[in-house]
Amino acid sequence: MSATAHAGPVPAGPAPVGMGPHLLSVADLGRQGIAEVLDVAEAFAEVEQRAIPKVPTLRGKVVATVFFEESTRTRLSFETAAKRLSADVLSLAVAQSSVAKGESLRDTVQTVEALGIDAIVLRHRCAGAPAQVARWVQRARVLNAGDGWHEHPTQALVDCFTVRQVRAEAVGATPAALGTSCFEGLRVLIVGDVRHSRVARSQILAYQAVGAEVAVCGPASLLPAGLEDWGVSVAPDFDEALGWADVVSLLRLQAERGSGAFVPSLREYTAGWGLTAERVRRLAPGAVVTHPGPMVRGVEIASAVADLPSVVATRQVANGVAVRMAVLFLLLGEPSAGVVGSGGA
Ligand code: CP
Residues 264-316: pLDDT tens digits?
Answer: 899 999 999 999 999 999 999 999 999 999 999 999 999 999 999 999 999 99
Residue to substitute in 124, 155, 291 for testing ligand 1 pocket (most ligand atoms within 8 angstroms of CB): 155
Q: Tell me: pLDDT of 341 over 60.
A: no
Residues sharing a CB contact under 8 Å with residue 315, sequence separation 6 or more, in sequence order: 162, 165
Do 29 and 60 form a contact (C-beta atoms < 8 A)?
A: no
Q: Are strands 119-124 and 88-92 parallel, antiparallel or unpaired?
A: unpaired
Do 152 and 199 form a contact (C-beta atoms < 8 A)?
A: yes
Distance 228 CA to ligand 1 centre (A): 28
Pick the CATH number of 26-150+318-332 from 3.30.450.20, 3.40.50.1370, 3.40.50.300, 3.50.50.60: 3.40.50.1370
Distance 108 CA to ligand 1 centre (A): 23
Residue 1, pLDDT score = 30
Nearest residue by C-alpha to atom 5 in ligand 1: 71
Nearest residue by C-alpha to atom 1 in ligand 1: 292
Is the pTM higher than 0.85? The answer reads yes
Pick the CATH number of 153-317 from 3.40.50.1370, 3.40.50.2000, 3.30.70.20, 3.30.360.10: 3.40.50.1370
Nearest residue by C-alpha to atom 6 in ligand 1: 71
Q: What is the mean pLDDT of residues 20-45?
A: 95
Say which range, 3-12, 32-41, 218-227, 242-251, has the weakest mean pLDDT.
3-12
Tell me the angle at which helices 73-84 and 313-332 cross, rounded to the nearest 10 degrees. Answer: 50
Q: Give 3-state DSSP helix, strand, coil % of the chain, rounded to 5.
A: 45, 15, 40
Residues sharing a CB contact under 8 Å with residue 242, sequence separation 6 or more, in sequence order: 189, 248, 279, 282, 283, 284, 287
Distance 294 CA to ligand 1 centre (A): 6
Can you give the residue ranges of every domain in the chain?
A: 26-150+318-332, 153-317
